[in-house]
Amino acid sequence: MKKAKIYKPSKTAMQSGNKKYNKWLLEFITEETGINPLMGWESSSDTLSELRLEFSSKDLAIEYAKKNKIHYELIQPNDRKIVKKSYADNFTK
């Protein structure tokens, strides 16, 4: 059976906006990796490891996995706690 993980990617520390991070991704998990004897790179004969599917919601990703009989692992995102600050707070405390 195919195994996959469904998650919402987090933004990197170098980015301030959240525009590209509202999608849910389904990535297949590859267990059979090996070393390519010619180049020495890690490789796999499983081409599904190169596939990343984007969904607009978590429910659509789960529905797709169930419809195609894919065992999935759901990884919930950690929500950011946003503390609103004012520039004037630097001088009033």
Put simply, whether the predicted model's pTM sits higher than 0.85 gets the answer no
**Kind of pairing between the strands at 52-55 and 42-43:** unpaired
Measure Cα distances from 60 to 3, 43, 48, 51, 52 in Å: 17, 30, 19, 17, 14
For the chain, residues with pLDDT lower than 50 are: none
Neighbours of 71 (CB within 10 A): 11
Question: What is the model's pLDDT at position 93?
Answer: 67
